Amino acid sequence: MPNYIEETKEIEVPPASGVPGFLRVVSSILERSRVQEIIISKGKIVYRRFRKEDEPEKPLEVDLDTLLPSYVIRGSEVEELPLNTENAAVAVGQLFSKSHMDGFNPIALVGGSDSLFFSWHAKTTGVVVARDECYGLPFLPDHNIPNEAVILCTGYGRRASLADTVRCYKISIPLRFVVKGKS
């Protein structure tokens, strides 16, 4: 009878990959043999399995890049809007207005992993907004997006998913809010 080694592994799941990211990781884990336990918590998945002693230890490789907003944004048309105000709420209003005039529906707001949007918004409006949802849309952090950018992803349908993004509208946070010590 073969001897088994118990192994426990932890996989980080980028928040911006959403439910599809978690499902893709869980699916990849379940393709492995002798999986005993899967624990899903915010931002990570831990699994425990037994492998044969003579079986090589292979890392779990899951491609989540295609689920990240930056991947979707690269595949769509991006229009950068000139910033006509330093007020974050008015700037976001410009994004919504432009998308509406072009006939698109908002899907999500996207920013960098350490987006400066939230401090900019608090400083210019006096209102603190949640980091996961803003103006009725999910705010998706992505490490491939600059921290001084705010991007509105839009599509044709009112209930479209991020993958249905057709056009994106981008604004850049004013430099005085980006300078170290002033953000």
pTM of the predicted model over 0.75: yes
pLDDT (0 to 100) of residue 159: 86
Condensed to tens digits (0 to 9), the pLDDT of residues 79-122 reads 999 998 999 999 999 999 999 999 999 999 999 999 999 999 99
Q: Poorest-confidence range of 10-19, 49-58, 80-89, 161-170? A: 10-19
Asked if 125 contacts 87 with a C-beta cutoff of 8 angstroms, the reply is: yes
In what side-by-side order are the strands of the sheet with 167-172?
A: 77-80, 167-172, 149-155, 105-112, 137-142, 133-134
Give the span between the Cα atoms of 60 and 25, in whole angstroms. 9
Question: Within the chain, where are the H helices?
Answer: 18-30, 69-74, 88-101, 117-125, 175-178
Question: What token pair was written down for 68?
Answer: 């990240």
pLDDT (0 to 100) of residue 66: 86
Give the span between the Cα atoms of 56 and 169, in whole angstroms. 47
Class of domain 4-66: alpha beta
Residue 181 has pLDDT above 70, yes or no: no
Give the span between the Cα atoms of 146 and 20, in whole angstroms. 23
Pinpoint the residues of the chain covered by CATH 3.30.2320. 69-178
Number of Cα atoms under 13 Å in the Cβ half of residue 73 = 26
* Number of neighbouring beta carbons within 10 Å of residue 4: 13
Q: Is 31 buried (19+), middle (13-18) or exposed (0-12) by CB count in 10 A? A: exposed
Residue 179 has pLDDT above 60, yes or no: no
Q: Which fold has domain 69-178?
A: hypothetical protein PF0899 fold (3.30.2320)
Q: Are strands 77-80 and 167-172 parallel, antiparallel or unpaired?
A: parallel
Cα distances from 4 to residues 31, 51, 59, 132, in angstroms, run 18, 5, 17, 42
Residue 165 has pLDDT above 90, yes or no: yes
Condensed to tens digits (0 to 9), the pLDDT of residues 30-87 reads 999 999 999 999 889 999 999 999 888 888 999 888 889 999 999 999 999 999 899 9
* Cβ-proximal residues to 88 (8 Å cutoff; 6+ apart), any chain: 117, 120, 121, 124, 125, 173
